[in-house]
A and B are shown apart, each in its own frame.
Chain A
């Protein structure tokens, strides 16, 4: 049966069906989409780039690491703390190009296998992970075990006003110690790895 009058292309019954179902879909979307965005928003929230002082330049030497507790997530107590191992840059062994961000070498303590905290052992000049046996050499390069890339690093600078060494954001490095935006542990970034594991949207932009 065509429409109720000449030239009608949609029957009234079909029109009512479309309107009722469409209104239902709009109503469901009206609470589903905001809720979904609410849950997914942190993925897109850009991190703040902050600097935190860790000590006087004379506290650090080329030959040994100084352990400093730093805060990577403010406001949540000890769960937001992490550990950085810091030493002065040694041109004799640090072959990566020097710039304003690496007069001091600051390594993150998170193992690049699955994120357990590594411990620096001065007698062996190695970083050793308690979880699955990852070992890193003095520069943080992988010396053995399952880690897929060298230890992450922090940008460092000496604050001109206070004269203190400050730690900035964390960054990841590949096996040539080239800088990449921070990745999760377990993500190799050599070769194709940097495309298989894209940088997160929430990566902070470094200051100019």
Chain B
């Protein structure tokens, strides 16, 4: 097994090899803080048996040729977490009141609340960042052919997540309740109405009536912060389970090494 060359440390600073265990079989003594941490983890692991699962999730074999494009999925996940955290705190100040209170509460967030403008902007711009990252991630998966057998279901869940993210963008756009929000939503709902047979009823459901009414805003708010995020969190869990279960595919331009089975780099496969 090849070893990483040691840095040129002076002799006194180089780590000493461990002493062999005492012949009487005594366990090694750790310093008190470390010992406390170990016993807490042991206590939890004895009752949950989580450590094999965590090891399965975190220490995975990765094919040769992975590159920065493989981080786009994690980047999208971080964008989602950013939206979730900033959204929860925006909800503490936001008021879905259609008779002017919604606009006033957003104005209050922007003008009066400490860091309100920052958190609002993080949520607003984070939404665009998330959609951009999703499409980059999707492009990586598509052009690397990573959606092929056995990862079709991962792709399908990802497409559902894309649609839900776009639905988040649609419902979230109304919430500031300014002129742009209002008319964009009117246009968006009427686009929905253009679908034959079910379109008119879908629009009725979205508006909560025949016209933009008293419940339309709170309906969009509930869909935006409860219905879709719950579904997305569950689907992200499934997506990540499949990624872990099936492993990461190698880039298509990496040729299989005839001296090794599989597409693992010989070094990494043995670590």
Contact = CB atoms under 8 A, between A and B. Distances in A.
A200 B182 CA distance: 22
B161 to A, nearest CB: 23
Given A80-B211, A202-B204, 8 more contacts: A42-B204, A79-B99, A131-B183, A186-B191, A186-B193, A196-B197, A197-B193, A198-B197
A197 B193 CA distance: 8
Contacts of B203: 184
Contacts of B204: 42-43, 200, 202
A116 B186 CA distance: 7
Contact of B187 (A73, A114, A182): A114
B190 A80 contact: no
Contacts of A115: 186-187, 189-190
A197 B186 contact: no
Given A77-B98, A186-B193, A197-B196, A202 B186 contact: no
A137 to B, nearest CB: 22
Contacts of B199: 184, 187, 197
19 contacts: A42-B207, A43-B205, A73-B211, A73-B213, A75-B214, A76-B99, A80-B211, A80-B213, A114-B186, A116-B187, A117-B183, A182-B210, A183-B200, A184-B189, A184-B190, A185-B193, A187-B193, A198-B197, A200-B204
Contact of A45 (B187, B191, B209): B209
Interface range on chain A (Cβ under 8 Å from partner) = 20 to 34
B155 interface: no
A73 B186 CA distance: 14
Contacts of B211: 72-73, 80
Contacts of A114: 186-187, 190-191
Contacts of B214: 73, 75-76, 80
B100 A77 contact: yes
Can you list the 9 inter-chain pairs with the closest CB atoms, starting with the nearest? A184-B193, A77-B99, A196-B196, A115-B190, A186-B194, A42-B208, A114-B187, A43-B204, A42-B209
B244 interface: no
Contact of B212 (A39, A45, A79): A79
Interface in B65-83: none
